[in-house]
Structure 1
Amino acid sequence: MDSTLLQQTPLQPDPGIGSGQARTPLALKIFGALLVVGGALLIPEVVLVWLAVGQEFVKGSFSDESVLTIILSLVLTAAVCFAIVSSVILGIRLLRGKRRRARLLAESMAIALVVAFACDLMLFGINEGLWALGAAALVLVVAHVFVDPSLSDERELQRRLRLMETREEMEEGTLGLDKSGSGFIELDFFNLFWIFVIASVAGVVIESVYHVLVVDFGHYEDRAGLLWGPFSPIYGFGALLMTLALNRFHNAPIAVVFLVSAVIGGAFEYFVSWFMEYAFGAVAWDYTGTFLNINGRTNFMFMCMWGALGVVWVKLALPALLHTVNLIPWRWRYSITAVCAVLMIFNGVMTLVALDCWYSRLAGVAPDNALEQFCAEHFDNQWMENRFESMSINPDAAHRSS
């Protein structure tokens, strides 16, 4: 390594780096105070909801058909309660300057909010509470970058070493690898976001080719899963699950990778099918009558396909993807990622809104606000049928409580 660069970029010990307690910014302390106050104000409301649900159980006023609704309500309340308690704990830790474990709390809260979001959507469709949960999740994603001092320390080190180690890693194509050796790649937002995007595009290509060559030879069908762009989010989220589950086992035998991928892929496909039908009465695939199918939501053949995709993904695609992502110039990579993430989130939110409005129109509910009117004008039933050709919606098949 060039000694001149070392002289020009001295690496003096920085008190507080890695300490987890020093140099907590004032903005984070204010954020911590807001978490404590907001969480404390919401606790009584959650307690009242739990008491109301408990009374329903005591009275036995729910029918057999509503058991699943009660379960989802309990899960929703439990997830929100966990997020609230965690927010109070996280806020106290930030106020005390203890940031190292705060990252784990923020990640746990984010998972709880995702669970609450899914349950809320299935129970009530698009509503004000859903927007609140989504906003809270976005705040956590942003705060996650600043909560852990190791991240700010990393930015400082990157600034100091950008002419040395970082440039060498870029040239060698090793930027983003897990240097601890516990996994193949670093499971940071940057890597996971581009895994989701690239896998979503690849999923559309795979689905389209399979439909043209196998399902209905010569007939093209739009297999996209979002309003705009060639994205199939089920493959994007499936790739994320594969990566998170198999990152530590990238050197495992192919049979192990295949089996784990098949189970994860089949379970994920089953859950997505159930979720879409419960929330929107939507059916995008039905494997009823096929070999070893499970309620028509997944079957043996497609679980094997998930297994094969998992092997290809872990053994071949993931290294190639990491190399491709490293082609993004260092100076641009985070700004490009931030812009693309905002656009992708907007695309996903508008897709859920459009599906909810499509469901409402088929259920005979007239648009009653500006957003629903916008969807009725720009994403009417015919437009949605053409965009989501493989999907059909039957409001009677949904199980919303309202």
Structure 2
Amino acid sequence: MAHDVSHPKEDLQWVAQRLQEDGESLRRDVDAFSQTLHSPVDKQKLPLWMKVFGILCIIAAAVSGAAVAESIVATVHYYTTGGLDAYGLSSIVVIIIQMVVRVLLVVIFLLFGIRLLRNRRRLAAITTNILFVLLLAGVLCTIMLSGMNWILLGYLGLLVLMVALQTYLDPSLSQERRLHRHLRDQENRQAAEAGTLGLDASGKGYITLNFYNLFWIFVVCSILGLIIETIFHFIVFGGYQDRAGLLFGPFSPIYGCGGVLMTVFLNRFHKSNLIVIFFVSAVIGGAFEYFTSWFMQYAFGAVAWDYTGMWLSIGGRTCGLFMAMWGLLGVVWTKLLLPVMLRLINLIPWNWRYGVTAACAALMLVDCVMTLQALDCWYERLSGDQVTTPIQQFYAKDFDDGYMENRFQSMTIHPDDAVRQGRS
């Protein structure tokens, strides 16, 4: 409601009232923030089984810490006696990173157990966020050093366990979900009717950064990226080449991940000038392209692109030209395509969106896992390893070398470039 400013005295009273209300609101926000670390939920006693679990975490951290310490001592001794000379510098770097990750996991799990025993459930829930990052780093290091093996199931189990524990330890999460379940249908219906479904209600960004929106951005950008790659190759080099990046479907996941990163980092820049968006997009895209190339080569000896000799080439993994293209794509995406993308997402009926998204996300996860397994088995076959396990036999039969070469036409495998098994 607009305020009538024709009466100065009433206007001053109105301003004073608003200042008082704003001051009270600010005080409540400060109190809520101060209670984040020591919130009332800490007064709710954790059940006995959680205390026992905390003790088990401390014991497991102590045992793992001893094993990690022994491994570090053995590795240092191995290095000082020349045992690591057979390994390349890349392998040694990844081994060191993996050791650091393991040490941090031991420390954080120990801290996690202590917080459970001290009934600091909110702090314990926050600790799980750090564990998510460390476990993901452990997964990447394991894939690079050992390929797809059963150790990854342990990491996956711990990730699932952390999700469950975070939900249990922070009651506000479950309370929020219960409230959302009651209000979500009504809000979705009203937003769909008003044409604002998926927009950032706070006004700070353009789109709501939730799993639903980001998943479909990944899917659509993966498809658009494949189309762009195919057209670009046809125009520049002539002829058709399959640029798919997953085992099934018309997807190029590097563009899907790039689209998600652009959306996350540029969401609040949607009103910024084009130059800012361009340079931020160029840096994000170039860094992500470099990391992806590094991981694929060190994990599977795979090379899907090489920009050596091009303008501002950085190790052949990215270059100035393609960073500029990422910058241009970021501008087009933020200013033009993101609104279209939101309208496209909202074509899914609001009452179907979560079920359809869950089913499609499960299929995409299977596609990604099978792609990694197929690449790993392809790498092993080219390395001369014997096909003995059921998984190796399955991929050797249904996704043999000929199939992989035809599916990933822009990719070559050089086993000696990988960091595992002593390769540099």
Q: TM-score range by the shorter chain?
A: 0.7 to 0.9
Q: In the alignment, which of 317, 321, 324 is matched to residue 341 of structure 2?
A: 321
Residue in structure 2 matched with residue 4 of structure 1 by the alignment: none
Q: Please, what is the CA RMSD of the aligned residues?
A: 3.2
Deviations 1:6-26 (A, max 9, x none): xxxxxxxxxxxx955577997
Residue in structure 1 matched with residue 84 of structure 2 by the alignment: 62
Residue in structure 1 matched with residue 216 of structure 2 by the alignment: 194
Q: One-letter code of the match for 2:417?
A: A
Residue in structure 1 matched with residue 16 of structure 2 by the alignment: none
8 Å contact from structure 2 (residues 185, 351) kept in 1 = no
8 Å contact from structure 1 (residues 28, 147) kept in 2 = no
TM-score w.r.t. length of structure 1: 0.83
The reply on whether 1:83 has 2:109 as its aligned counterpart is no
Q: Aligned pair count?
A: 385
- SS of the residue 1:62 aligns to: helix
The reply on whether 1:270 has 2:290 as its aligned counterpart is yes
- Measure, in 2, the Cα distance between the counterparts of 1:94 and 1:102: 7
> How far does residue 56 in structure 1 lie from its aligned partner after superposition?
4.1
- Measure, in 1, the Cα distance between the counterparts of 2:315 and 2:277: 25
> How far does residue 253 in structure 1 lie from its aligned partner after superposition?
1.9
Residue in structure 2 matched with residue 53 of structure 1 by the alignment: 75
8 Å contact from structure 1 (residues 32, 92) kept in 2 = no
Residue in structure 2 matched with residue 349 of structure 1 by the alignment: 369
- Measure, in 2, the Cα distance between the counterparts of 1:31 and 1:386: 54
The reply on whether 1:362 has 2:386 as its aligned counterpart is no
Residue in structure 2 matched with residue 137 of structure 1 by the alignment: 159
- SS of the residue 2:421 aligns to: coil
The reply on whether 1:290 has 2:310 as its aligned counterpart is yes
Deviations 1:289-346 (A, max 9, x none): 3222222222221111111111122223333333333343344333332222222222
Q: In the alignment, which of 172, 182, 194 is matched to residue 194 of structure 2?
A: 172
Q: One-letter code of the match for 1:214?
A: V
Structure 1: runs of 5 or more not aligned: 1-17
> How far does residue 138 in structure 1 lie from its aligned partner after superposition?
4.3
Q: In the alignment, which of 327, 332, 351 is matched to residue 312 of structure 1?
A: 332
- Measure, in 2, the Cα distance between the counterparts of 1:28 and 1:246: 44
The reply on whether 1:281 has 2:281 as its aligned counterpart is no
Residue in structure 1 matched with residue 417 of structure 2 by the alignment: 397
- Measure, in 1, the Cα distance between the counterparts of 2:194 and 2:43: 35
- Measure, in 2, the Cα distance between the counterparts of 1:276 and 1:397: 10
TM-score w.r.t. length of structure 2: 0.79
> How far does residue 241 in structure 1 lie from its aligned partner after superposition?
2.2
Residue in structure 2 matched with residue 10 of structure 1 by the alignment: none
Change (3 A) 1:19 1:171: farther
Q: In the alignment, which of 358, 366, 372 is matched to residue 338 of structure 1?
A: 358
> How far does residue 181 in structure 1 lie from its aligned partner after superposition?
4.3
- Measure, in 2, the Cα distance between the counterparts of 1:30 and 1:369: 41
8 Å contact from structure 1 (residues 42, 84) kept in 2 = yes
Change (3 A) 1:221 1:25: farther
- Measure, in 2, the Cα distance between the counterparts of 1:323 and 1:24: 47
Residue in structure 2 matched with residue 302 of structure 1 by the alignment: 322
Residue in structure 2 matched with residue 229 of structure 1 by the alignment: 249
Deviations 1:75-115 (A, max 9, x none): 11222332343344345546666554555433322222222
- Measure, in 2, the Cα distance between the counterparts of 1:275 and 1:164: 44
8 Å contact from structure 1 (residues 99, 149) kept in 2 = no
Residue in structure 1 matched with residue 142 of structure 2 by the alignment: 120
> How far does residue 260 in structure 1 lie from its aligned partner after superposition?
1.2
- SS of the residue 2:381 aligns to: helix
Q: One-letter code of the match for 1:263?
A: V
> How far does residue 190 in structure 1 lie from its aligned partner after superposition?
2.8
8 Å contact from structure 2 (residues 226, 250) kept in 1 = yes
- Measure, in 2, the Cα distance between the counterparts of 1:295 and 1:388: 22
Answer with 155-164 or 247-256: which moved more.
Answer: 155-164
Change (3 A) 1:69 1:306: same
